[in-house]
Chains A and B, each alone.
Chain A
Amino acid sequence: MSKEQGEQVIDRSFRIVALFFIFSGAAWLLLGTFFASLAAAKTVMPTFLSDYEWLAYGRVRPASINALLYGWGGNMIFGASLWMLARLSWAEIPYPGIPVVAGMAWNGAISIGILGILAGHATPFELLEMPEYVSVFLYGAFLALATWSIIIFHSRIQTETYATQWYAIGAVIWFSLTFFLGHLGLFWEPVRGTVQAVIASWFAQNLLWLWLVPIAFGIAYYLVPKILGIAVRGYSLAFLGFVTLLLAAPWSGLGDLRGGPVPEWVPTMGSIMAVAMFFPVTIFAGNVLGTAGSNLQRVWEDLSLRFVVTGTLLFTICAYLGMIIAIPAVSEVTQFSLFGNFQFNYILHGLFAMSAFGLTYYLLPVLFEGKQSNKLMVASHFWIAVSGVSLILAGSIWGGLTGGAIANLGNGDWGAATSPFLALNLAGESLLFLSAIYFATNLHWAIGFPWQACCPKTETEGEKTIVEDKTNASGDDLSEEDLATKEYMGLTAVTFILSTILVIAFAGVVFSIIL
Chain B
Amino acid sequence: MTRTLSGLLVLSTVLLLFSWRYLIVATERQYGDLELTSGSLDENGSVIKDASLYPKAISGMALQGQQVYLSLGCVNCHTQQVRLEGVGRDMERGWGLRPSMPRDYVRLAQPLLGRFRHGPDLSNAGTRKELTEEALLRHLYSPQTDTPNSICQPNPYLFERKEIKGDVSEEALDLGDGTEISPTRDARKLVGYLQSLRQDYELPEMPFLVEPEIEIIAAPAPISASAPTSENKETSNE
- Spell out A's residues near B (CB within 8 Å): 42-44, 46-47, 50-53, 56-59, 61-62, 120-124, 126, 150, 153-154, 159-161, 165-166, 169-170, 173-174, 177-178, 181, 185, 190-199, 202, 206, 210, 239, 242-243, 246-247, 250-251, 254, 256-264, 266, 269, 332, 335-337, 340, 407-416, 418-419, 422, 503, 506-507, 510, 514-515
In the complex with contacts A411-B227, A411-B229, A414-B237, A202-B89 CB distance below 8 A: no
Asked if A161 contacts B105 (CB within 8 A), the reply is: no
CB closest chain-B residue, reference A59: B73
Asked if A247 contacts B25 (CB within 8 A), the reply is: no
Asked if B81 contacts A261 (CB within 8 A), the reply is: yes
With beta carbons under 8 angstroms apart, the residue of B105, B154, B234, B235 that contacts A194 is B105
Asked if B23 contacts A198 (CB within 8 A), the reply is: yes
CB closest chain-B residue, reference A119: B71
**Measured between alpha carbons, how far is A246 from B23 in the docked complex, in Å?**
14
- Spell out B's residues near A (CB within 8 Å): 2-3, 5, 8-9, 11-21, 23-25, 27-28, 30-34, 70-77, 79, 81, 83-84, 86-89, 92-93, 99-106, 108-118, 143-144, 149-157, 227, 229, 231-237
Asked if A177 contacts B13 (CB within 8 A), the reply is: yes
Q: Which residues of B contact A181 (CB under 8 A)?
A: 20, 24
Asked if A196 contacts B73 (CB within 8 A), the reply is: no
Asked if A62 contacts B76 (CB within 8 A), the reply is: yes
Q: Which residues of A contact B111 (CB under 8 A)?
A: 193-194, 196-197, 261
Q: Which residues of B contact A246 (CB under 8 A)?
A: 12, 15-16
CB closest chain-B residue, reference A198: B27
**Measured between alpha carbons, how far is A412 from B230 in the docked complex, in Å?**
11
In the complex with contacts A166-B2, A181-B20, A413-B233, A59-B89 CB distance below 8 A: no
In the complex with contacts A166-B2, A261-B81, A332-B87, A412-B233 CB distance below 8 A: yes
With beta carbons under 8 angstroms apart, the residue of B18, B77, B144, B151 that contacts A247 is B18
Asked if A191 contacts B227 (CB within 8 A), the reply is: no
With beta carbons under 8 angstroms apart, the residue of A58, A190, A197, A515 that contacts B72 is A58
**Measured between alpha carbons, how far is A269 from B14 in the docked complex, in Å?**
20
Q: Which residues of B contact A239 (CB under 8 A)?
A: 2
Asked if B113 contacts A260 (CB within 8 A), the reply is: yes
**Measured between alpha carbons, how far is A409 from B113 in the docked complex, in Å?**
20
With beta carbons under 8 angstroms apart, the residue of A124, A177, A337 that contacts B112 is A124
Asked if A51 contacts B115 (CB within 8 A), the reply is: no
17 pairs across A/B with beta carbons < 8 Å? A50-B153, A50-B154, A56-B155, A57-B153, A58-B72, A122-B70, A123-B110, A153-B5, A161-B3, A173-B13, A197-B111, A198-B23, A251-B23, A260-B83, A335-B88, A413-B233, A416-B149
Asked if A190 contacts B109 (CB within 8 A), the reply is: yes
**Measured between alpha carbons, how far is A337 from B117 in the docked complex, in Å?**
6
Q: Is the interface of A mostly helix, strand, loop or mixed?
A: helix
**Measured between alpha carbons, how far is A159 from B102 in the docked complex, in Å?**
51
What's the nearest-Cβ distance from chain A to residue B72, in Å?
5
**Measured between alpha carbons, how far is A259 from B75 in the docked complex, in Å?**
18
Q: Which of A197, A242, A269, A340 has the most CB of B within 10 A?
A: A197
In the complex with contacts A62-B73, A261-B81, A42-B153 CB distance below 8 A: yes
Q: Which residues of B contact A177 (CB under 8 A)?
A: 13, 16-17, 20
Asked if A408 contacts B88 (CB within 8 A), the reply is: yes
Q: Which residues of A contact B235 (CB under 8 A)?
A: 412-415
What's the nearest-Cβ distance from chain A to residue B187, in Å?
12
Q: Which of B14, B24, B151 has the most CB of A within 10 A?
A: B24
Asked if B73 contacts A122 (CB within 8 A), the reply is: yes
**Measured between alpha carbons, how far is A257 from B84 in the docked complex, in Å?**
11
Asked if B151 contacts A43 (CB within 8 A), the reply is: yes
Q: Which of A46, A51, A185, A191 has the most CB of B within 10 A?
A: A46
**Measured between alpha carbons, how far is A170 from B100 in the docked complex, in Å?**
38
Asked if A59 contacts B72 (CB within 8 A), the reply is: yes
Asked if A150 contacts B76 (CB within 8 A), the reply is: no
**Measured between alpha carbons, how far is A503 from B5 in the docked complex, in Å?**
11
What's the nearest-Cβ distance from chain A to residue B135, in Å?
18
**Measured between alpha carbons, how far is A173 from B11 in the docked complex, in Å?**
10
What's the nearest-Cβ distance from chain A to residue B101, in Å?
6
**Measured between alpha carbons, how far is A161 from B157 in the docked complex, in Å?**
57
CB closest chain-B residue, reference A121: B71
Asked if A52 contacts B34 (CB within 8 A), the reply is: no
With beta carbons under 8 angstroms apart, the residue of B89, B144, B155, B233 that contacts A409 is B89
In the complex with contacts A170-B12, A247-B18, A261-B102, A340-B116 CB distance below 8 A: yes
Q: Which residues of B contact A192 (CB under 8 A)?
A: 32-34, 106
What's the nearest-Cβ distance from chain A to residue B33, in Å?
7
What's the nearest-Cβ distance from chain A to residue B94, in Å?
10
What's the nearest-Cβ distance from chain B to residue A478, in Å?
16
In the complex with contacts A42-B153, A58-B72, A194-B105, A514-B8 CB distance below 8 A: no
What's the nearest-Cβ distance from chain A to residue B228, in Å?
9
What's the nearest-Cβ distance from chain A to residue B128, in Å?
17
Q: Which residues of A contact B154 (CB under 8 A)?
A: 46-47, 50
With beta carbons under 8 angstroms apart, the residue of A165, A251, A259 that contacts B87 is A259
Q: Which residues of B contact A197 (CB under 8 A)?
A: 111, 113
Asked if A210 contacts B16 (CB within 8 A), the reply is: yes
Q: Which residues of A contact B106 (CB under 8 A)?
A: 192-193
What's the nearest-Cβ distance from chain A to residue B233, in Å?
6
Taking A259-B83, A413-B236 as known contacts, 8 extra A-B pairs with beta carbons closer than 8 A to each other, sorted by chain A number, are A56-B73, A56-B153, A166-B2, A246-B12, A332-B88, A412-B234, A416-B149, A416-B236
In the complex with contacts A58-B153, A177-B16, A510-B13, A262-B25 CB distance below 8 A: no
What's the nearest-Cβ distance from chain A to residue B132, in Å?
23
What's the nearest-Cβ distance from chain A to residue B79, in Å?
6
What's the nearest-Cβ distance from chain A to residue B136, in Å?
17
**Measured between alpha carbons, how far is A43 from B79 in the docked complex, in Å?**
17
Q: Which residues of B contact A198 (CB under 8 A)?
A: 23-24, 27
What's the nearest-Cβ distance from chain A to residue B38, in Å?
18
**Measured between alpha carbons, how far is A246 from B5 in the docked complex, in Å?**
17
Q: Which residues of B contact A47 (CB under 8 A)?
A: 144, 154
Q: Which residues of B contact A260 (CB under 8 A)?
A: 81, 83, 100, 113
Q: Which 7 A-B pairs have the closest CB atoms?
A: A58-B73, A415-B237, A259-B87, A259-B83, A120-B71, A250-B19, A336-B117
**Measured between alpha carbons, how far is A169 from B23 in the docked complex, in Å?**
24
**Measured between alpha carbons, how far is A192 from B106 in the docked complex, in Å?**
6
CB closest chain-A residue, reference B72: A58
With beta carbons under 8 angstroms apart, the residue of A153, A169, A199, A242 that contacts B24 is A199
